[in-house]
Amino acid sequence: MPRVGLSPDAVVDAAVAVIDADGPDALSLAAVASRTGVATPSLYKHVSSLDALRGLVQLRVLTELGDALAEAVLGRSTDDALRALMDTYRDYAVTHPNRYTALPQHTRPEPELAAASNRVIEVVFAVLRGYGLEGSAVIHATRCVRAAMHGFASLQISGGFRLAEEIDESHRLLVDLVAAGLRP
């Protein structure tokens, strides 16, 4: 019988807490069991494997990111929407660096993960359509914007910006450069 209060969501909460505290490489069933106060075999009542748990964590993080991005761009257009998108993406990564590094860089086959990933992409598509981009142009632009967002966020959270200039100013410049490249 599953432990009272322990549920798949509680197991994912504990897994996210492990990742937040110690990074994605620290995620193990033993670490989650320790955090939830159960024996490791008890977790199998809630998740089928460590890989399945990783997928649930990725789903949680993609959903959080997608929700944050959608809320940020709602009611905005063109440069204002792009700035909100890129600022929110960076803020999420900087606020949750270990969660961010746990994100899959390619879509896993699970339908729920694919849907959550597609939601993030659809938010970016919506912003870019504000610049009049459609078809293959919006796909190419999405790849470029994603590379800019991911690259900047990854460099920042890994300590890659050590020069004296203000990082926020560099990010503002990046957004301005991307916006200029998107304008017709």
Same-domain pairing of 43 and 79: no
- How is residue 181 written in tokens? 């490249």
27 in the same domain as 95: no
Terminal Cα distance for the chain, rounded? 61
- Identify the domain containing residue 34 by its residue range: 1-47
Same-domain check for residues 18 and 68: no
**Closest to 61 (Cα-Cα) out of 119, 126, 122, 116:** 116
Do 71 and 143 lie in a common domain? yes
Query: Are 15 and 89 contained in the same domain?
Result: no
Q: Indicate the number of domains in the chain.
A: 2
Residue 52 covered by a domain = no
**Residue 165: half-sphere exposure toward Cβ, Cα within 13 Å:** 8
Output the six-digit token pair for 145: 């914007």
Same domain, 124 and 167: yes
Residues 131 and 81 in one domain: yes
For the chain, list the strands marked E by DSSP: none
174 and 112 both lie in a single domain: yes
Specify the CATH number for the domain of residue 119: 1.10.357.10
Q: pLDDT tens digits for the chain (184 residues)?
A: 345 578 999 999 999 999 999 999 999 999 999 999 999 999 999 999 999 999 999 999 999 999 999 999 999 999 999 999 999 999 999 999 999 999 877 767 789 999 999 999 999 999 999 999 999 999 999 999 999 999 999 999 999 999 989 999 999 999 999 999 999 8
Q: Are residues 23 and 106 in the same domain?
A: no
